[in-house]
A and B are shown apart, each in its own frame.
Chain A
Amino acid sequence: MKKLMSGNAALGEAAVLSGCTCYFGYPITPQNELTEYMAKRMGELGRVFIQSESEIAAINMVLGASVAGARAMTSSSSPGMSLKQEGISYLAADELPAVVVDMVRGGPGMGNISPAQSDYLQATRGGGHGDYKTIVLVPGSVQELTEVVPLAFDLADQYRNPVIVLGDGMLGQMMEPVSFENIKPPKEYPKDYILTGAKGRPARMVRSLLFDTKEEEEHNWKLVRKYQRMEQNEVRYETFMADDAEMIVIAYGIGARIVKGAIKRLRQENMKVGMLRPITAWPFPAAPLQELAKTVRDFFVFEMSAGQMIEDVKLALSGKGRIHFYGRPGGIIPTPIELYRIIGRHYYMAARRKQQ
């Protein structure tokens, strides 16, 4: 049965059903409904909920809960995410699982509380200090949150690495019918690294300090090999009307949702536009994009930012094809009609260029 829920609340319920036993959060708009939902639900279930004194405290509580063996989550929005980066770096260094949600808002600085996609680079480039990566999932609908959230917990446990769920204020706050029937009971992962008190076994230590530079370098390469496995195995994306497309739009999250509306209109006018929608922003679906570049010349990047994912598109295409860009930073949500006009104009110009 479907329920009408906000993305934030649905995300909370999906986490609960995925076996999240600890949630720590600090209020920030536009993700407060998630913290509030967890306050109520975790209380009902006798699980751990703490409204922390800061985002820094929240991410470190997550680290503590994770090292104690629990599935733990925290959530925030852009300015709060900046504060969490310290802890995310430690989680990555300590190889501890955790799920961190960012419902992105306009920035930099205080910015505003409107939906934006301007944390893409922060999320996909590690975000904090040091050589590390996090898997970044970018769901595009409330229903898709019920797929992405259990996946985030599983990937975190499987790779022992923090996983970011990167949404935006619109995904968090819009209400859609949602069903949780697809969420299976949480899997058990062997956890031979957690701290439980050294009962009948040698004491364990979890640390990221490696004074010996050789040891730190080895640790870095070990992490790199793990990230390479992620790149090989965890790329997720969706294509939309891409088979006969002469122009491919690359967009993610809510941005992709708006693009879909625009493409439907463009198709009505026989403009052969399709879309590639990353579901993992890192690892980025570079190979499928390269595959498309064998037949398609024009690629159109749309982002609700001044242009961040475009860097990954450029890297993936490595000079192949022509890249068009349209960005709306600052918390602006363009309408499908606006995108239909812009993409249509670029499509028309590309067709003209081909004729000449």
Chain B
Amino acid sequence: MKKVYTRPKTLKEAHFHYCPGCGHGIINRLLMEVVDEMDLREKAICVAPAGCGMLLYNYFDIDTLESAHGRGAAVATGIKRVRPDNLVFSYQGDGDLAAIGTAEGFHAANRGEPISVIFVNNGVYGMTGGQMAPTTLTDQVTTTTPLGRDPILAGHPVRICEVFAMLDGTVYLERVTVNNPAAVIKAKKAIKKAFQCQLDGKGFSLVEVLSPCPTNWKMGPVEACRWIDEVMTKQFPLGVVKEVS
């Protein structure tokens, strides 16, 4: 019988703590597939966030630091400046990068730090129980926008890729999703490209991944995946937002 799939070598044999239908597990696996395929296990240093992604080190068989909420890009900057030959990437959620850590992310991007940010956008604060995130859509119901997000009171969903695209230090920004097999393959390619940008010393790269959160969206997994296509991508269009050759 032909083996069509196997666990990436750098993905530990642990049970994910993620909820059923969550996108984190797919993104975690993709990252370690890329690390394996690019032979980066002995080079990679991961900066884990606060939030649902914080237990990455239970799954990744690579050197990992857990950063304070929002400070991933600053910590990654410190590591990368000391170890320019390593592959340094941070894994950050939407609250992490687009709210509390906007300054750190923005300025690392502006300095053109040759790090890669994996930005997981699921439109809510997942681990704390589904509060409004900076990326929550207009009218979307969360525990802190019980009547739906009112832009007059709570602002508008933040498009990080588009904001960062205006900074001269960024070289590669792409928004992808993981809600169907074709999208997963594209997401993996984007991660590979971001890492390659870093290895080539080009500058700051970021991959934004629209990721389903059925638990906090109060949807079934299938419905959540459909919602990404039908609703979320209208605010957050997929594709390469910036690429400097």
Contact = CB atoms under 8 A, between A and B. Distances in A.
Say whether A associates with B.
Answer: yes
Interface stretch (A205-213, A250-258, A294-302): A205-213
B103 A50 contact: no
Interface in A183-223: 195-200, 202-209
Interface in B86-118: 86-87, 103-104, 106-107, 111
A22 B82 contact: yes
Contacts of B86: 196-197
Given A203-B61, A205-B65, A63 B78 contact: yes
B42 A197 contact: yes
Nearest to A69: B82
Interface string B110-140: 0100000000000000000000000000000
Given A22-B82, A48-B81, A209-B54, A61 B63 contact: no
B45 A195 contact: yes
Contacts, number: 133
Given A50-B81, A69-B82, A64 B74 contact: yes
**Chain B residues touching A, majority SS:** mixed
Interface string A55-77: 01110111111111110100000
A207 B71 contact: no
A90 interface: yes
Most buried by B among A24, A86, A90, A205: A205
Contact of B81 (A22, A54, A205): A22
B79 A68 contact: yes
Q: Report, as a range, how many residues of chain B touch the other chain.
A: 35 or more
A205 B57 contact: yes
Interface in B28-81: 41-45, 47-48, 50, 54-55, 57, 60-68, 71, 74-81
B104 to A, nearest CB: 5
B83 interface: yes
B64 A64 contact: no
A56 B103 CA distance: 10
A36 to B, nearest CB: 19
The listed residue with most A CB atoms (<10 A of its CB), out of B41, B78, B106, is B78
Contacts of B66: 205-209
Given A196-B63, A198-B42, A60 B74 contact: yes
Interface in A279-338: none
A196 B77 contact: no
B57 A207 contact: yes
A207 B65 contact: yes
A61 B42 contact: no
Nearest to B12: A203
Nearest 8 A/B pairs, CB to CB: A64-B78, A68-B82, A60-B74, A207-B66, A61-B78, A205-B57, A53-B107, A199-B42
A22 B111 CA distance: 17
A341 B71 CA distance: 51
A52 interface: yes
A112 interface: no
A66 B68 contact: no
A48 B80 CA distance: 11
A209 B17 CA distance: 15
Most chain-A CB neighbours within 10 Å: which of B64, B74, B86? B74
B82 A60 contact: no
Given A48-B82, A60-B75, A63-B75, A53 B104 contact: yes
Contacts of B63: 195-198, 203-205
